[in-house]
Amino acid sequence: MLRWLRTLIPAIALVWMSCGIHAADDFAPLRAKMINDIADLTAETFAATGRPAIDPRVLDAMDQVPRHQFVRPGEERDAYENRPLPIGYGQTISQPYIVALMTDLMMIKPTDVVLEVGTGSGYQAAILSTLARVVYTIEIIEPLGKVAQERLQRLAYKRVNTTVGDGYYGWEAHAPYDAIIVTAAASHVPPALVRQLKPGGRIVIPVGAPFLTQYLLLITKANDGTVSTRQILPVSFVPLVGH
């Protein structure tokens, strides 16, 4: 009996793994279409962004991360459409093109330490974790932060560290950062984030009032500490909560 069980258990595990792989592969065509949509929009917005193409490393990350795992039940097949989706508490998961563009603008290296303000569903953090050495992400809405933490752990994104708090003030304990991303629109660039950015680092942040024109900004800090700002393109984000 024991010998029979020892033979059966690996077989069951193999079937379970095969079913899991098949389920994941069901979304492969949708991911491929998402990548193509991102490439098309990147070409269309080249004049504004100055980015003729998204870094292949970023596209590969977006092809690896199962976006359908980061949306609400019943909306899995909508996850790969180029539009934001609600995730509860008045928050959204950003559209794939904007995720790709913001990540590309950060120019992340494999050795980088990255801060994300606004964990949301955890999708952006998962993307960042495939590119950086370590990711710190902070969410002010506690239920969202807890669900994102559990999801990231379940999906084995081990390079992501989460916390609940007001991201307007950054995460001083792990500063300075090579790159910082803010996934909600602030009325201005938070001074704490500029302070916590390494010389040579970049901040990508949407700035503007809710329901009015917002712009995606690229903030760079030179080696001498000088800060410069470049306006990329108009965007629409939910407002940054807190402070």
Q: Per-residue pLDDT tens for 15-33?
A: 333 344 334 468 999 999 9
- Smallest Cα–Cα separation from 37: which of 62, 72, 57? 62
Is there a domain that residue 241 lies in?
no
Q: Do the strands 160-164 and 134-139 form a parallel or antiparallel pair, or are they unpaired?
A: parallel
Identify the CA nearest to 204 among candidates 186, 223, 222: 186
Q: Given 18, 94, 129, 228, which residue is catalytic?
A: 94
3 lies in some domain:
no
What's the pLDDT tens digit per position in 161-218? 999 999 999 999 999 999 999 999 999 999 999 999 999 999 999 999 887 889 999 9
Q: Which of 149, 147, 155 is nearest to 137 (CA)?
A: 149
Number of domains in the chain: 1
Amino acid 47: pLDDT: 93
Residue 132 belongs to domain with CATH number: 3.40.50.150
Q: Which residue segment(s) compose the domain that 136 sits in?
A: 10-235
Residue at 243 is within a domain? no
In a domain, 2, yes or no: no
- Catalytic-residue membership of 228: no
Confidence of residue 8 (pLDDT cuts 50, 70, 90): very low
Q: Is residue 240 part of a domain?
A: no
pTM: 0.88
171 inside domain: yes
